[in-house]
Homo-oligomer: A and B are copies of this chain.
Amino acid sequence: MHTTEFDTSLPSIRQLQNLVKQTAVVEFKLITGDLLTGRVLWQDPQCVCITDENSQQTTIWKQAIAYIKPKAS
């Protein structure tokens, strides 16, 4: 088994970790053009899992993210 590299000192990794802690609502724009909105449950090196108002979970592949935008609270 291989332990995948995950550098928690990187600002972009920490930003996502903070969004998990804050249970903030975040917009994810994907390279497909899809715009997904939800609270971030977890991230790993490959994916980010979000949940919407109906507790429907969606696992986003990081390779498909164009940008993310925390929604103003």
List the number of copies, as a whole number: 6
Contact yes or no, B47 A12, CB < 8 A: yes
- List chain A positions with a Cβ less than 8 A from chain B: 1-13, 15, 29-34, 36, 42, 44-47, 49, 56-70, 72
Contact yes or no, B3 A9, CB < 8 A: yes
Top 7 A-B pairs ranked by shortest CB distance? Answer: A2-B5, A12-B47, A64-B66, A4-B7, A60-B67, A10-B44, A12-B46
> Majority SS of interface residues in chain A?
mixed
CB A69 to nearest CB in B, in angstroms, measures 5
Name the B residues within 8 Å of A56 (CB-CB). 69, 72
Given known contacts A49-B11, A59-B12, A62-B61, is B1 in contact with A67 (CB within 8 Å)? no
